[in-house]
Structure 1
Amino acid sequence: MSFNNILVPVDGSETSYAAIEKAADLAKAFNSKVTVVQVLTLDPYIAAEYITASHTNELIERARTSLLKTLDEAKAKFAEYGVTVETQLLEGQVIQREIVKAAEAAKADIIVIGSHGRTGFKKLVLGSVAQSILAEGEVPVLIVRK
């Protein structure tokens, strides 16, 4: 199996940095194209106001700026490993759905994602993006734990 296109969702956490390291190893081994993504989640009520407002919503713009900074940090981390990447800021209401759509659009051969490894009540309450991507997507997923 060859990994020509690797998608790496990040959130700025230590576990996403562990995923970056693993994805960089794969990219170097297979000479892969790497796309790093992060999702700006939009509440449907806020998003409707944002889309129709004549002025930009300051909170959304601050969130966007923060997420773009995280993408830049991920890009720099990949550069430390000698891997050049593309970055995309995705927008939507459900994180895992946007990641799955991005993987399909990029024709990704694999998604490399960090997982916090929550179990029990924390997993029930907080959910698991990685688990949801496994359930919703068709693209193989490599889950990396710190």
Structure 2
Amino acid sequence: MFKKVLVPSDGSDLAHKAAEFAADLAKVHGAEVIGVYVIDPFPYIGIGDASAVGLQAYLSEAKQAANRSLEVLADSCKQRGVAFAGDTIERSVVYEGITETAKAEGCDLIVMGSHGRKGMEALFLGSVAQKVLTHAKVPVLIVK
């Protein structure tokens, strides 16, 4: 039924649980898993040399976090014999990055955790999962 399953990750434990669930589901359906990690752009203000240094430090740390997160997803897929491809993209609106990737990759399902952030941060930033549910053109499976 499913051919390509998109799994967005933010590196949280819940995202890793969603990755395992997606890998199991992909194995049953003979599907491929596409992993995506969305990096928020650096809030560049363009003043002084410190901005360039801050940008490099931010991007380096963000890419390391993305690589760690996608490695967990790749390992889950490898353990189950499921094909995997992963990518890191930069978008200022995370849910748009997820829905754009689903469309660009031809994914027919998105599997993601119900939330990655906790407490006040989640309250102020809103739920990425909720926004993906609202805007996705393909089915979305939320893992709690």
Equivalent positions of 1:31-70 (< 5 A) are: 31-43=30-42, 45-46=43-44, 57-70=56-69
1:130 alignment partner in structure 2: 129
1:114 alignment partner in structure 2: 113
How many residue pairs end up in the alignment? 140
Alpha-carbon offset, residue 10 of structure 1? 1.0
Q: Moved runs in structure 1, 4+ residues, more than 4 A?
A: 117-123
TM-score by length of 1: 0.82
Aligned pair in 2 of structure 1 residues 97, 32: CA closer, same or farther (>3 Å)?
A: same
Alignment-mate amino acid for residue 32 of structure 1: A
Q: 1 CA distance for matches of 2:116 and 2:92?
A: 23
Q: After the TM superposition, which of the residue ranges 69-78 and 127-136 deviates more from structure 2?
A: 69-78
Q: 2 CA distance for matches of 1:71 and 1:93?
A: 20
For structure 2, the residue ranges without an aligned partner over 5 or more in a row are none
Alignment-mate amino acid for residue 82 of structure 1: G
Q: 2 CA distance for matches of 1:76 and 1:129?
A: 24
For structure 1, the residue ranges without an aligned partner over 5 or more in a row are none
1:78 alignment partner in structure 2: 77
Alpha-carbon offset, residue 117 of structure 1? 8.7
| TM-align CA RMSD | 2.9
What percent identity do the matched residue pairs reach?
A: 37
